Amino acid sequence: MILAPFAPRHFPTAVLFLSISAFTFGDTIEKGKASWYGSELKGRTTASGEPFDPEALTAAHRTLPFGTMVIVTRDSTGNSVIVRVNDRGPTRPERIIDVSEAAARKLGLIVDGVADVTVEVQSTSQKSTDAGITKTQSLQPSSSPSPNPTTQPDTKTKYSLQLGAFEDEARANSLKNSVMTKYKGVFVTKASVQGKEFWRVRLGEFSDMESVLKVLKSLFKEGFSEVAVVKLGPDETFIKVESP
């Protein structure tokens, strides 16, 4: 059964929402309107067969396979959240995605109800996997995750986790040394931002978002309250993720 998404809260009927989407299946970027649905539907069966949890970072999309992980970014604020597709929708043609209540909080959608967003596909999978940093579900990493850098060169998207950035190289190396006691693949990289030099402490190189999220969960348990997911490439993209 497909869940029926809620209408936006307290919007005047005179407001007209338009969506211009350049998305076709197989593309990686989609732009349009996002809305959300919440606790009133808790426990209802989603189109994927799993019960709806408003505190899980999930979403409804019309075409993406269940288990697909996407980054939803609110255009006006830059706030981002990683969600997993587990339902079909939205039912309103002018919208491209419905996110759960937990995801809506991170995007600042609770009051606004609807906002312009950019949806970027990170990975597709038919299996059901938890896409996120949730309050009611958790990924159980091994006692010592080992995110080893990929040795086979390819053109696929790669990710890393940034644990901190420092103007003092000694502080960066100190963090690196402490993290290396539990994790492999920790390194320091130098960067120049607006004329200032920074030393960034990063962990691993990953080829899929599932691996990223598994290690991210473990880092939160270790006390890292803020970590950035870095999409590697000539123009790096940073997605700041806060511990729930």
Domains observed in the chain: 29-123 (2.40.40.10), 159-242 (3.30.70.1070)
Whether the pLDDT of residue 129 is over 90: the answer is: no
Least confident piece of the model among 43-52, 129-138, 147-156, 229-238: 129-138
pLDDT bin (cut points 50, 70, 90) of residue 123 is low
**End-to-end distance of the chain based on CA atoms, in angstroms?**
29
The chain-wide mean pLDDT, for the chain, equals 75
Predicted TM-score (pTM) above 0.75: no
Residue 124 has pLDDT above 60, yes or no: no
Per-residue pLDDT tens over the stretch 180-207: 988 999 999 998 877 889 999 999 999 8
Residues 114 and 6: beta-carbon distance below 8 Å: no
- pLDDT at position 19 over 60: no
Check whether the bond before 90 is cis (ω within 30° of 0). Answer: yes
Partners of 188 in beta bridges: 201
CA distance linking residue 169 with residue 191, whole number of Å: 11
> Phi and psi of 83, rounded to 5°?
-130, 160
- Residue-wise burial string across 56-66, b where 16 or more C-beta atoms lie within 10 A, e elsewhere: bbbbbbeebeb
CA atoms within 13 A on the CB side of 32: 20
pLDDT of residue 117: 93
- Higher-confidence residue of 236 and 117: namely 117
Q: What is the DSSP string of 168-228?
A: SHHHHHHHHHHHTTT-SSEEEEEEEETTEEEEEEEEEEESSHHHHHHHHHHHHHTT--EEE
